[in-house]
Amino acid sequence: MSKFHTRCLTGMARCRSKLCMNKLGFILSIALLVPMTVLAEGRVNKQVDKTEKETLTQAHQQDEGKQGKPEAVALDAKRFEFVRRNMISTFYHELAHALIDIMDLPVLGQEEDAADVFSVVMVDRLFEEADAVAINSGAARGFEVDAIKMRSRGREWDWTDEHGPDMQRYYNIVCLTYGGAPERRADFAEEMRLPEDRAEICEAEFSMAKNSWGLIIKHIADAKTGKPISFSESARSTLQIRAAQVIETEVKRVNEKFKLPRRLRVTVKRCARGSNFYAFYSSGREKITFCTNYIDELYRDAPE
Ligand SMILES: [Zn+2]
C-alpha cells in the first residue's frame, strides 16, 4: 500500500460548479470540510494478541497467475479480519464516489474526504456497536500501515495527491468514530491515540457528517423504486474468494436497505499488471472495481 497506489480512481463526470446544484437542494460539504491540519504520525501500535490460526486448512493459491493445484496454506484469522475491515470501509468509500456521480451531488470540498466521511457514517449506521468500531478502527490502521511503510522506505508524501495524507485520514476516521458515541468509545479513543484537543470537537464533527450525508442516505432509503447493485467476481485464491464474499455481503446489505436511482456494478477482479490502483469507481461505466492485488497486500501488510 505504498503512496503510489491510490485507493480509488474517480471519473471525469463530476458536479464541480454551483450550476450543478441538484434537485436535492442541500449543502453536503460542510461536514466534508474537515480540518486540514496535518497531525503528527503515531507510533506503531503493536497488537499483543496472539495470532489465531484457523483450524481448517484453506487452499490458498498465493500466486494467482500460477497454474495447477493451489498451494495449501492456512489463512491467518487475524490477518483476514484486517482484510475484512478494510474491504468494508473501502466499499463504502467507493460507494460514496458512486453516489456523488450517479446522483449528481454537490461536493464543496475534497471528494476523497467526503468519501471517507461517508464510509464512517455508513459503518456506524449499518453495523452493531462492536463491529462498527472494529471496522473503522481497521480502516484507520490501514492508513497507519501505509504511513509506516512509506516512512520505512524513506519516502515522503506526494503533496499533489488528491487524497489527504495517510495519518490525517487515520485521525479523521478515529475522530469521527469516537464522535459517533463518545460516551461509550473513550477506550477506543485512547487506544487509537486521539489527542484530547481533537477529541473535544469529534462529536460535533460526527453530527455534522451524519446530518449532511443523512439527507442523501434518507433519500435512497425512502426511495420507492430504484436499481439494485449487481455483483461479480473472478477471484482465484481462497483469500481473494473470501474477501470477495465480504464485498458481496455488503452489496446485499445495501440492496436490502437502499434503492439507487441508477444501476451500479461492483466487481472483484485481477487488475492489469502494474496497476496503481486498489479499488476505484469508474464514472460513465457506473462500476466499482476491487483489484485482487489490494486483497493480497492487505493480508500481507496486516499488523501483527
Ligand atoms: Zn476515493
What's the gap in Å between 10 CA and the centre of ligand 1?
7
pLDDT at 1: 41
Ligand 1 centroid to Cα of residue 192, in Å, is 23
CA of 293 to the centre of ligand 1 (A): 17
Total-model pTM: 0.79
Distance 32 CA to ligand 1 centre (A): 13
Count the neighbouring beta carbons within 10 Å of the beta carbon of residue 49.
7
CA of 23 from ligand 1 middle (Å) equals: 24
Q: Which three cell numbers stand for residue 217?
A: 442516505
Express each pLDDT in 149-192 by its tens digit: 999 998 988 888 889 999 999 999 999 999 999 999 999 999 99
Coil, strand or helix: which one is 242?
helix
Distance 163 CA to ligand 1 centre (A): 7
219-262 pLDDT, tens digit per residue, is 999 999 999 999 999 999 999 999 999 999 999 999 999 999 99
State the pLDDT confidence band at 21, using cuts at 50, 70 and 90: very low
CA of 288 to the centre of ligand 1 (A): 11
Q: Tell me the CA–centroid distance for residue 19 and ligand 1, in Å.
A: 23
Look at 6-10, 11-15, 83-87 and tell me which has the smallest mean pLDDT. 11-15
* Distance between Cα 158 and ligand 1 center (Å): 16
State the distance from the centre of ligand 1 to the C-alpha of 300, rounded, in angstroms.
22
Give the distance (Å) from ligand 1 centre to CA of residue 84.
Answer: 18
What mean pLDDT comes out for the span 211-222?
A: 95
Q: What would the pLDDT profile of 50-75 be if each residue is shown by its tens digit? A: 223 332 233 343 444 444 445 556 89
Note whether 151 and 167 are within 8 A (CB): no
Q: Which residues surround ligand 1, an ion (CB under 5 A)?
A: 8, 112, 115
- pLDDT tens digit sequence for 283-296: 989 999 999 999 99
Model pLDDT, residue 173: 98
Q: What is the DSSP string of 207-220?
A: HHHHHHHHHHHHHH
At residue 16, the pLDDT reads: 21
**What separation in Å is there between the alpha carbon of 15 and the centre of ligand 1?**
15
- For residue 93, how far is its CA from the centre of ligand 1 (angstroms)? 6
Q: Is the pLDDT of residue 45 over 90?
A: no
Residue 3 has pLDDT above 80, yes or no: no
Distance 249 CA to ligand 1 centre (A): 21
Alpha carbon separation from 243 to 43, 268, 295 (Å, rounded): 28, 9, 7
Q: What is the pLDDT of residue 73?
A: 64
Q: Which pLDDT score, from 0 to 100, does residue 213 have?
A: 96
Residue type, 239: L
Quick one: pLDDT at residue 133?
98
Measured distance CA(206)–CA(180) in Å, rounded: 6
Question: How far is the centre of ligand 1, averaged over its atoms, from the C-alpha of 279 (Å)?
Answer: 8
Residue 29 pLDDT class (50, 70, 90 cuts):
very low
